[in-house]
Amino acid sequence: MNLYPLGKALVSIIFYPLYRIRVIGKEHMPKDNGVLLCSNHIDNLDPPTVGITSPRLVNFMAKEELFEAPILKGLLPKLQAFPVKRGASDRQAIRKALQLLKSGEVVGLFPEGTRSTTGELGEGMTGAGFLALRGECDVVPCAIIGPYKPFKRLTVIYGEPLPMEELRERKASADEVTQIIMQSIQKLLDTHKNIEK
C-alpha cells in the first residue's frame, strides 16, 4: 500500500502555512526521465519538505537506523523510502537507487550524508557522483533555505538539470561529478542570498 499521496496531502496542509513555503523552479524537474534529486541538508524535516514541493514522487534514501524504529520500519517503505548504511559503501542501496533511476523514477539524496550544524553546505559524498554517472538519469540540484521556524519564510529552489552527457562521455570520476553537484547547490544558495538583499 502506497501512502505517499496521502502523506503528501497531510504534510502539505501543515507545512505550507506553518513555514510559509515558497517554491522556485518546479518547472526544471524533468517530467519523464529518471532524476537524481540532490539537496542540501539543514534539518530532519528536509525529506518531507522536498517530498511535498517536488512535482514528482520522490524515493528517498534514508539512514538505516530509521528503519529499526518500531513504527517507522513499517511506515517508511510505504512512503517510498529505502534504507542506506551511512559511512559505508552500501551496495544494496546503490543497486536499488540505480534500478529506480533507470526505470524513470526520482531518487532523492542528501549528498552531505548528514545535517549541517552550521547551515553552511558541507562536503558531498562520492555516492552522489557515482549514481549520477551510472543512473542514466537527469541530475537536478535543490536548495532548502530555512530556518524551520513557525511563520518564517522557507524557500525551496529546484535548479536546472546538470549537463551530464559530456561528463559521462569523458568518463569523469565520481568525485568530480559530486563536486559539480555540490557547486550547483551552492550556486542556488548564493543566488537566493543575492535576491533577498
How much is the pLDDT for 121? 95
How much is the pLDDT for 73? 79
> Three cell numbers at 169?
562521455
Range in 1-15, 46-60, 83-97, 170-184 the model is least confident about: 83-97
Cβ atoms of 160 and 29 within 8 Å: the answer is no
Q: Above pLDDT 90, what percent of the chain?
A: 72
6 band by pLDDT with thresholds 50, 70 and 90? very high
DSSP class per residue in the chain: ---HHHHHHHHHHHHHHHTTEEEE-GGGS-SSS-EEEEE---STTHHHHHHHHSSS-EEEEEEGGGGGSTTHHHHGGGGTEEEE-TTS--HHHHHHHHHHHHTT-EEEE-TTSS--SSSS--PPPHHHHHHHHHS-SEEEEEEEE----TTS-EEEEE-PPP--HHHHHTT--HHHHHHHHHHHHHHHHHHHHHHH-
How much is the pLDDT for 89? 67
pLDDT tens digit sequence for 108-119: 999 998 899 888
82-86 contacts at long range (C-beta below 8 A, 24 or more positions apart): 86/113, 86/114
pLDDT tens digit sequence for 138-172: 999 999 998 999 999 999 999 999 999 999 999 99
Whether omega for the bond prior to residue 48 falls within 30 degrees of 0, making it cis, is: no
Which among 16, 2, 69, 26 is positioned nearest to 158, based on CA atoms? 26
Tell me what the mean pLDDT of segment 83-102 comes to.
Answer: 84
How much is the pLDDT for 77? 85
Whether 48 has a pLDDT exceeding 90, the answer reads: yes
Look up the pTM and report it: 0.92
Tell me what the mean pLDDT of segment 84-102 comes to.
Answer: 84
